Structure 1
Amino acid sequence: MSINRSQLVQKIAESTELSQGDVDKVLAGFADVVTEAVSKGDSVQIQGLLTVETVERAARQGRNPRTGESIEIAATTGVSIKAGSKLKAAAKG
């Protein structure tokens, strides 16, 4: 089962007794802060829950699966999301 944004807002509103509108604003603000931090190359860490950071991927040789031809894959910047200890423990059950 997955939870979409509106379900997440509803569950947080129920557990915090905040309005769904307020929770939605907080969630939007959180998304803005994380997006801004990542765009600057900074990381965001919520202790025990998750860490979001940028990662540099070096240029490398790859292979076209259709033709088997060797190709050059350019260097790029990506995003890494790592689970924290509490999230890992919850996944184990």
Structure 2
Amino acid sequence: MNKPELVNAVAAVTEERKAATGAMIDAVIVTITDAVTTGDTVQLIGFGSFSTGARAARAGRNPATGAEIQIPAAKTVKFTAGKALKDAVNAS
């Protein structure tokens, strides 16, 4: 499902206009992005949690040449599925 399909599905359930639904979905995405960017954890009970994590610097290999390279440390985004989402996926 892509974003326009999500907007259509949510608009059908809420019986709102697609434009208003699209704006609401955009606002939710921006709010979650802002919170996770500042280091907060966003928990949506039953769905899951968005948070940040850290990946340590490490050595890797260039697949084209086989030469060893240094991969720098980086922040990463983590999503942990909630129990209700896990149960729904496993039930289908």
TM-score bracket relative to the smaller structure:
0.7 to 0.9
Residue 9 of structure 1 deviates from its aligned partner by 0.9
TM, length-normalised to structure 2: 0.87
Letter in 1 for 2:80: K
Match of residue 41, structure 1, among 29, 39, 51: 39
Segments of structure 2 that go 5 or more residues without pairing to the other structure are none
Secondary structure in 2 matching 1:61 = strand
CA distance in structure 2 between the partners assigned to 1:68 and 1:19 by the alignment: 54
Among candidates 68, 72, 87, match of residue 70 of structure 2? 72
- The alignment's C-alpha RMSD in Å is 1.3
Instruction: Give, as a single letter, the amino acid of the residue that structure 2 aligns with 1:32.
Output: V
Unmatched 5+ stretches in structure 1: none
One-letter identity of the residue aligned with 2:16: L
Paired amino acid for 2:50: V
What count of residue pairs does the alignment treat as equivalent?
91
2: CA distance between counterparts of 1:31 and 1:17? 21
Q: Post-superposition shift, 1:68?
A: 2.7
Q: Between the two proteins, what is the percent identity of the paired residues?
A: 37
